[in-house]
Amino acid sequence: MHRLLTFKRLSVLFLVAFACSFGLVLAYDQLVRAPGDRCEEQGKWWDREGRVCAQPIAIAEITGRPNGVSREEASRQKNRELVAIERQLAANERAVAADAERQRAALAAAEAAQ
């Protein structure tokens, strides 16, 4: 009687299945887990969904606000800067208007003198 699954064939099939499983585990480790571990060792953030290694950014770099300054303090400082800019623009506009008025008066005086 000829048997299909002898002990020798079963042992070879088991060893092949074991080797394939072991290879899959190693491939998973190298392709999925290792990049995340390498990224975190460098002090970066690993995004598993997008598979992206990202550099953390400090909030101060985004907002332009120095560390230790509250949002309210930074807002007040920005408002003071804006008020100073508005005052400077208003003074420039007044100076331009005064200069235009002076030129009009000089032109009118020149026309009246003719």
Blockwise average pLDDT, block size 10, the chain, 114 residues: 80 96 93 87 88 85 82 90 96 95 92 84
Q: Which amino acid is at 93?
A: E
Q: What pLDDT score does 1 carry?
A: 53
Q: What pLDDT score does 17 carry?
A: 97
68-90 burial code (b ≥16 CB/10 A, e <16): eeeeeeeeeeeeeeeeeeeeeee
> On the CB side of 30, how many CA atoms lie within 13 Å of its CA?
6
Q: If you ran DSSP here, which 8-state letter would residue 66 be given? A: P
Q: What pLDDT score does 51 carry?
A: 84
* C-alpha span between 103 and 95 (Å, rounded): 12
